[in-house]
Structure 1
Amino acid sequence: MSRASLEKQPDDVAAMFDDVAARYDLTNDVLSLGQTRLWRRAVAQALDVAPGERVLDLGAGTGTSSLPFLAAGATVVPCDFSLGMLREGKKRHPELPLTAGDATRLPFADGVFDAVTISFALRNVHDTDEALREMRRVVRPGGRLVICEFSQPTYRPFRTVYTEYLMRALPPVARSVSSNPEAYVYLAETIREWPDQKALAGRLQSAGWRGVAWRNLTGGIVALHRGTKP
């Protein structure tokens, strides 16, 4: 079983997600106490796709996150760099055009999407700023971005409890449901090291996104960041 380091070398991270692919969605539901479904619904509402639009769902894993966009009538392209995740997704959702790709070197032409989204995957990318620039490159002018990622709880006492849960409670729970519990130690570490809401908004602006804003979900455990390509 593999576990990536906080250096987030792409081959190491991809191999780690290959290991957890079969039970990844189930494990996330258990660890989040069922909140993942509510967070996905919030992403779909924020992106607000129209029928016929082209949507890139980056870091899509098994493709579960792409289903709301498909249901809305959009043409959705789920993209991930873990071949294990994509193989598992193809078994579950053969109707989806699952595509292998690295967020820092997307295999798409300029301006071909109306919108791009990434959920709980940006913090696993080796070069966050390059990924933000690549997402901007592949959407058309006026195209939208929605990022859903773990963030910093806004209520300080709760933030302390949350941090303790991540580092102490999460690994034992992961051992009971995941095929690679060590991967969830890494994931907890990436959450703890990830920039807060304001810092991530600044990185979006530096990457060329405009109209950047964010909305907290579940007390700031998760934040939705939005931006538009000028």
Structure 2
Amino acid sequence: MGCVTRANLDKQPQEVAAMFDDVAAKYDRTNDVLSLGQARAWRRAVAEAVGAGPGDLVLDLGAGTGTSSLPFAEAGANVVPCDFSIGMLAEGKRRHPELALTAGDATRLPFADDSFDAVTISFALRNVHRTEAALAELLRVTKPGGKVVICEFSTPTWTPLRTVYTEYLMRALPPVANKVSSNPDAYVYLAESIRDWPDQPTLAALMQQAGWQRVAWRNLTGGIVALHRGFKG
């Protein structure tokens, strides 16, 4: 798999994992640049939506290097960062040896039923081969009454912003990635995967079909990103 530089939109797990292995060292810095500094604000919004406190057990799926898990640990929760990219996890362990970084596939999580008070996934659900299977697995490992918070790129609600955003994704993002990323081709896939991802109501419907209840969403940055929330009955 060493020759793989980017994945395709069929999102074969081995290809996606290899692509993220390749960008692990510079991934967080590149995201800050490409998001124009918004990535940190989005992480704060996720932490607030999850609302984890001391004693809560939180699964942070697609955690990569563990950066997204830090707010939960700082709030006193017990957080399990989980990702299927060994390269990302290795980089995370180097930076944050205190975190319980765990390897796992979103469609076959290595956790028992009803384990977590809250589960969350940020900017990773669209990279999973089978979205519906991942949503069902998240439900399986959540305790009754627990919640899911999904933070993912979405569809801007204002038409002019949507046009500008699409142009940025497909024209400006790759050249910027070429300057700051160790694997610019990976960001071509990421731009395509964002453009191909369902809008807010469609993702909400998929969550409901998986069994999540009281599903709702909140737009961030004009709908460029959306926070979806649901509860396990």
Q: Please say whether Structure 1 and Structure 2 have the same fold, judged by a TM-score greater than 0.5.
A: yes
How many angstroms apart in 1 are the aligned matches of 2:68 and 2:59?
Answer: 11
Alignment counterpart, residue 77 of structure 1, candidates 76, 80, 85: 80
1:49 aligns with 2:52: yes
Pick from 67, 90, 98 the counterpart of residue 95 of structure 1.
98
Q: What displacement does 1:207 show?
A: 0.2
What is the rounded CA distance, in whole Å, between the counterparts of 2:49 and 2:190 in structure 1? 25
Q: Secondary structure at the match of 1:76?
A: strand
Select the residue among 188, 193, 214 that pairs with 2:196.
Answer: 193
Query: How far apart are the structure 2 equivalents of 1:73 and 1:111?
Result: 21
- Superposed, 1:192-211 pairs within 5 Å as 192-211=195-214
TM-score by length of structure 1 reads: 0.99
Structure 2 residues not aligned, in runs of 5+ = none
SS, match of residue 99 in structure 2: coil
Inter-partner Cα distance in structure 2 for 1:66 and 1:167: 29
Match of 1:148 among 147, 151, 154: 151
- The amino acid across from 1:135 in the alignment is L
For residue 228 of structure 1, report the CA deviation from its aligned partner: 0.2
Which structure 1 residue ranges, 5 or more long, are not aligned?
none
Instruction: Output the amino acid matched with 1:31.
Output: L
Amino acid at match of 2:71: P
Q: Which residue of 2 aligns with 1:121?
A: 124
Secondary structure of the equivalent of 2:189? helix
Match for 2:229: what amino acid? R
Provide, for residues 24-74 of structure 1, a one-character-per-residue CA deviation record: whole Å limited to 9, x for no partner. 000000000110000000000000012100000000000000000000100
1:38 aligns to 2:41 (yes or no): yes
SS of residue matched to 1:141:
strand
Aligned length: 230
Instruction: Give the TM-score of the pair, scaled to structure 2.
Output: 0.98
Matches within 5 A, 1:127-166: 127-166=130-169
Q: Does 1:8 align with 2:5?
A: no
